[in-house]
Amino acid sequence: MVNIQAQGKIISCARGANLRQVLLKNGVNLYNSNASMINCRGIGTCGTCAVVIEGEVSEAQWREKARLFVPPHSPDSDQRLSCHVKVLGDIKVTKYNGFWGQGSKTVWTPES
């Protein structure tokens, strides 16, 4: 088991679990504003599940990299698409503002 710290919660999950699924199942507000209703449900095309992660997770594959290359995301940012992330160790997750989570202000942090 590994631990995810997000929005003031500490969530245990199996190593290799899908980050988006674990966060949603545990009531973390993964999406900003209407993105909670208008999203691709984890296919990797909308880009609204973006978060910044500290800790060990899977490497980004081509689909995730392709979406993060398209504005308003940037290939230079630290964002990851939670729907394409496998949790491999204890991690801390931060969500930023903007419809796609692409902003520079935090919406929530690992601690709150």
Q: Which residues bind ligand FES (CB under 6 A)?
A: 39-40, 42, 44-49, 81, 83
Q: Are 70 and 35 in contact (CB under 8 A)?
A: no
Smallest distance, ligand FES to C-beta of residue 80, A: 10
DSSP letter at 16 equals T
Smallest distance, ligand FES to C-beta of residue 20, A: 6
- Using CA atoms, how far apart are residues 27 and 98, in angstroms rounded to an integer? 20
Query: Which CB sits closer to ligand FES, 57 or 83?
Result: 83
Smallest distance, ligand FES to C-beta of residue 100, A: 9
Query: Which CB sits closer to ligand FES, 21 or 106?
Result: 21
Strand partners, 55: 91
Distance, CA of 34 to chain centre: 16
Tell me if the bond preceding 72 is cis, omega within 30° of 0: yes
Query: Which CB sits closer to ligand FES, 1 or 62?
Result: 62
Query: Which CB sits closer to ligand FES, 78 or 111?
Result: 78
Q: Which of 76, 89, 111 is nearest to 14 (CA)?
A: 89
Smallest distance, ligand FES to C-beta of residue 82, A: 6
